[in-house]
Structure 1
């Protein structure tokens, strides 16, 4: 399980004296612990599945990516580099991301499916976009960044009209 892997890596980084890595791994475990507490309130069982762990890690990765962009725009290269290092460390625990070609293939398949549906063909651009995103993210969840999927969907929907 991913949770155990992160805990083991934390112990190793502490033994090796890697302060930066230790801090990032502690932060990840803290985020996972918070999610467990949140889940415990809903249904009593607090153990997170790997899918839920990946969801938490993806959110943390997204935060780092956004923060790095903001720091770059503000001229704080040092802080941007720190965020990117954290992002790199978090990505070690995420499944490999699919490329643009795979995203485009999934989007094309989903659009074809929706256009074949009589209701999908007549619906507005916004409604079709929502359907395409929902179906595509079901297939690509955890494997692709939602913003990349969104851009591909917009591009192909504009061409499909």
Structure 2
């Protein structure tokens, strides 16, 4: 079952269960997916959908930080609930050791010799780790590995 079909099935299940919070979040996700399909005139793959979900998760995390800083715990709780629903669609996260291993493999595969080769290494890693690791942290690991190489 594709990710798109799973999301549609989950939306139907939320409707039947009258779970308005979950339903609202899934509807936001499907709207974002349809928007991308219309804008780019493409059929979304699981990789495209994961990128959309990743972006929405990042937005929720930023909102939670802002709401908590502003003393609006009620709004932060809503964002946390949405974050939980969206996170369920992401693949299992990799451990720090697995990420380090992937970074080492990518550096070896590209023949990267210094910081100027960071783009090559990140291009390889982005495809492998998208949705399974925080790419900001991966970028920091690559930078550290290349500067000490």
Query: Structure 2 length normalisation: TM-score?
Result: 0.86
Instruction: State the Cα distance separating 1:30 from its structure 2 match.
Output: 0.4
Q: 1:49 to 1:152 in 2, by over 3 A?
A: same
Q: Which residue of 1 aligns with 2:4?
A: 3
What's the counterpart of residue 84 of structure 2? Answer: 88
Q: Kindly state the Cα deviation for residue 157 of structure 1 after the two structures are TM-superposed.
A: 2.7
Distance 1:151 1:77, change over 3 A: farther
* Structure 1 outlier segments of 4+, above 3 Å: none
In 2, distance between residues paired with 1:113 and 1:6?
36
Q: How does 1:1-161 map to 2 (within 5 A)?
A: 1-40=2-41, 46-114=42-110, 117=111, 120-121=112-113, 125=115, 127-160=116-149
CA distance 1:111–1:47, shift in 2 (3 Å): closer
| Deviation at residue 34 of structure 1 after TM alignment | 0.4
Stretch deviating more after TM superposition (93-102 or 149-158): 149-158
Residue segments in structure 2 that go unaligned for 5+ positions in a row = none
Paired residue total: 148
- CA deviation after TM superposition for structure 1 residue 73, in Å: 2.7
Larger Rg: 1
Instruction: Name the SS of the counterpart of 2:5 in structure 1.
Output: helix
